[in-house]
Amino acid sequence: QVQLVESGGGLVQAGGSLRLSCAASGRTFSSSAMGWFRQAPGKEREFVASINWNGGTTYYADSVKGRFTISRDNAKNTVYLQMNSLKPEDTAVYYCAAGVAAWRTGVSDFGSWGQGTQVTVSS
C-alpha cells in the first residue's frame, strides 16, 4: 500500500502555472503507475494524466494535452504535475493515485489515493 500526500495547489489567474507534487511513502511506489485525477464541484472525478513506473510512458486527457506534464522522481518518491496555460475550467480538487498500469486510466484502476489539493483558476 502506498500513502500519498498532495501539495502545491492554490489560486492562480488564467494563463498562469502551478506545479503539484505528490509525496509517497511505502515500498511499492517505484513499481507503481501513478496518476493525477481531478474533481470539480458537482462533477465526477476524471482522469488527468498518468505515468508508468519508470517515467517512460505518459498518458493525458485530451483537455490537458499540451498544457500539463506529469513526471516522477523515484529517488524522491514523488510525482509531479506541471500545469501551464491554466484555464478557469481547470478549477478542481486534484488527487494523485497509485495504480497497476498507466494505460488503465479509470478511477477504479487506481487503489491508493491522496487527500487532494485545491486548484482555483480565476478568469
pLDDT tens per residue across span 37-83:
999 999 999 999 999 999 999 999 999 999 999 999 999 999 999 99
* CA dihedral angle for residue 51, residue 59, residue 90, residue 97, rounded to 10 degrees: -30
The DSSP symbol for 26 reads: S
pLDDT at 2: 86
**Mean pLDDT over the full length of the chain:** 96
